[in-house]
Amino acid sequence: MTEPAPERPQESPPLHRTAHARTEEPLPLDGTAYERPQESLPLDSTAQLLTRITAALGTQLSLVSLNGTRRPMHRTPQQPPHSNVSPLIPAAPALVAVAHGSRDPRALHTVTELLDRVRELRPGLDVRLGHIELNEPLLPRTLDDLGSGEAVLVPLLLGRGYHVKQDIPEAVAGAAALRTRTAGPLGPHPLLVEALHGRLTEAGWRPSDDGNRNSAVVLAAAGSRDPESAAGTRRTAQLLSERLGGVPVVPAYASAATPTVPAALRALAARGRRRVAVASYFTAPGRFASAAAAEATWIAAAPLGAHPAMARLLLHRYDQARAAGAPAHETLMNTRFLASA
């Protein structure tokens, strides 16, 4: 007779779940009681659960001040619409571009275009214009309009001549309430050479002209009796010659210095240079620039004008003056001329 099979004991549910374990919800932050998930928790998750409970309690306690009241949530201050200036950082000094002025209507248009490029490169910067003569606004009027604020004057002048040493300081002295610094003139500087090279290329200078035994350049400048101004022009001519592969670059002047542009052209022709370009070392169109271009026997470049390198150079001189000068709030009038570097 066959014995009946022994009954198998009823198995208990497993204590551990090895797959598809439900992730516990963190402790609610609204103060309600913690609800245990419907499914049984694995025993080996107890430490993790305690860690999460502790972290959640810490978050809740951080919102309660010592007197029992709830702390406000930290929020980043919002800037007003269309504002690029932090309320914690004082506004930068205004940039006052100081132009010579010209009876040629193209000059004012060119300078305005240049300053628009500066504004594009430095949004939010207060950029203003003042003229030494011939055009409005004149520099004293521009400085008066600034009142008792701060300004960095950037001469749109290529050398350290009379206007930089006399006219600009006199205008600054008349604005006693304004805190100012004055940057050095634009030249000499590699960015000027970049602009000169760009204008020559636009006029027809080709890479094959670089280092060519038949090529040369006359660097036509306004001219000055100041030896520092003349030295700066010679330095710019040297830098441009290096940029053009060593072709001769001869400074020549429209007034107050020699040689003149026609004389420089004749001298280069006598040396066998048949492809002689006239580079315009003027910031804007005017009588001198037009007269120099008219003497060209081959190509004549346009004035420096609103070339992108010029806008970068203006901001470089502005930043240089801010970095090198003493803080503007230390004196009512602190005028510094920086070395042309």
Question: What single-letter amino acid sits at 36?
Answer: R
> ∠ CA 247-248-252 to the nearest 5 degrees?
145
Is residue 100 within 8 Å of 130, Cβ to Cβ? Answer: no
Length of the chain measured in residues = 341
Structure tokens at 340: 């042309």
DSSP label at 327? P
Is 163 considered catalytic here?
Answer: no
- 209 Cβ contact list (under 8 Å, min separation 6): 215, 244, 247, 275, 277
Instruction: State how far the Cα of 285 lies from the Cα of 271, in Å rounded to an integer.
Output: 30
Phi-psi region of 68 (alpha: psi -120 to 50; beta: other; left: phi over 0): left
Per annotation, catalytic residue among 16, 100, 163, 197 = 100
Instruction: State how far the Cα of 141 lies from the Cα of 132, in Å rounded to an integer.
Output: 11
Residue corresponding to tokens 């470089």? 316
| In the chain, alpha helices (H) | 46-62, 105-121, 139-146, 162, 168-173, 190-203, 227-243, 261-270, 287-294, 308-324
Q: Among positive and negative, which fits the CA dihedral 201, 204, 209, 215?
A: negative
Is residue 8 helix, strand or coil? coil
For the annotated catalytic residues, the residue numbers are 100
